[in-house]
Amino acid sequence: MQNIVVLISGRGSNMVAIAQACRAQRWGARVAAVIGSRAAVAGLASAAAEGITTESLAHQDYAFREAYEEALATRIDAHEPHWVVLAGFMRILTPAFVQRYLGRMVNIHPSLLPAFPGLSTHERALAAGVRVHGATVHFVTPSLDDGPIIAQAAVPVRAGDDASLLAARVLAAEHQLYPMAVRWLVEGRVRLAGERVELRASEAVATIDPARGLPGGADAALLWCP
């Protein structure tokens, strides 16, 4: 049984999606623990409701970033993780911490990277006038939102969208995308090889024509990047 440790700073809806998919699809993995960036993180209650061990660790309690990350790594390692999954964990991690889990730590970002790294992705996508937006699962590297891409989900940008409507459409796609990508990791279908991803998944790939939108008028399409 492979152990997954999830780090969160918010509602933890992607964490719940992964935990439920683990059980329902019988990956041979489990979410062993969820660690919040502070005690008041809403997603910790959701994790507890799923029967998952929860912990919290606030960076304000540590004088230096390195001290915080050492304490965080100690908490993570106590659960003997095969995978460390960032699900809305709002901390920029140092290169030393990333190196400790390199190839075993993944993140989801609410844009089609390399477009719109960082914050306010939905507002920026609307301001740029893009026709297609989405989410990206990638390996974590020292550069922010810049690791090798495992999988992406694309959603249409529709007339009348505001940031809230677009964010909700992207989040619904994330709840499909992230469990799929984590399952690929657990099953050995994907791995980090140097600076690129080796992917051996057989799932159908949807090709997006930006001029026409998504196939069949769908709300989302799952993509992968070898």
Structure-token pair, residue 131: 């026709």
* Distance, CA of 59 to CA of 78 (rounded, Å): 19
Which of 123, 124, 125, 91 is closest to 107 using CA atoms?
91
**β-pair partners for 197:** 192
Distance from the Cα of residue 11 to its chain's centroid:
13
Reduced 3-state DSSP string for 141-185: CCCCCCCCEEEEEEEECCCCCCHHHHHHHHHHHHHHHHHHHHHHH
Candidates 59, 109, 133, 138; catalytic one: 109
| DSSP, res 137 | E
Q: How far is CA 192 from CA 4, 185, 199, 221, in A?
A: 17, 10, 9, 23
Q: How far is CA 87 from CA 14, 91, 101, 149, in A?
A: 6, 11, 16, 16
Q: Is 109 a catalytic residue?
A: yes
Residues 6+ apart with CB under 8 A from 127: none
Which residues form the catalytic set?
109
